Amino acid sequence: QVQLVESGGGLVQPGGSLRLSCAASGRTFSSYAMGWFRQAPGKEREFVAVINWSGGSTQYADSVKGRFTISRDNAKNTVYLRMNSLKPEDTAVYYCAAKPWLPTTRSSDYNYWGQGTQVTVSS
């Protein structure tokens, strides 16, 4: 069992930056692939970024590539999402998710989810 708690969301102006954190419980965190997904009002949940167990492999949605960076610290049981050059279209609830073994971009593959943290990009 893995429990996930996100933090770091908030209101930011266009062009600004935020860093989201996702703290995981459990001693097997390092064996899980981790992902960030987001859901805007009236839209389906969408893939943002994923990272493998070691942090050596990452994948990003085209819409965030070059602006967002996913990373993890297995000693702290935490995964991060650094978001730069934020745009109004990045406004959404951001969710952290975990699954055993290899990362995928399909939200339905993930077994564990956090409660989400709101990110609002507006002037």
Tell me how far apart the alpha carbons of residues 15 and 111 are, in angstroms, rounded to a whole number.
33
Digit-coded pLDDT (tens) for 5-55: 999 999 999 999 999 999 999 768 888 999 999 999 999 999 999 999 999
Structure tokens at 8: 């770091």
Beta bridge partners of residue 93, listed in sequence order: 39, 118
Q: What is the DSSP letter of 68?
A: E
Tell me how far apart the alpha carbons of residues 92 and 90 are, in angstroms, rounded to a whole number.
6
CA angle (5, 6, 12) in 5-degree steps: 165
Structure tokens at 31: 């064996």
Q: How high does pLDDT run on average in the chain?
A: 96
Length of the chain: 123
The closest of 70, 53, 119, 50 to 91, measured between CA atoms, is 119
Per the model's pLDDT, the better-predicted residue between 107 and 30 turns out to be 107
Digit-coded pLDDT (tens) for 51-75: 999 999 999 999 999 999 999 999 9
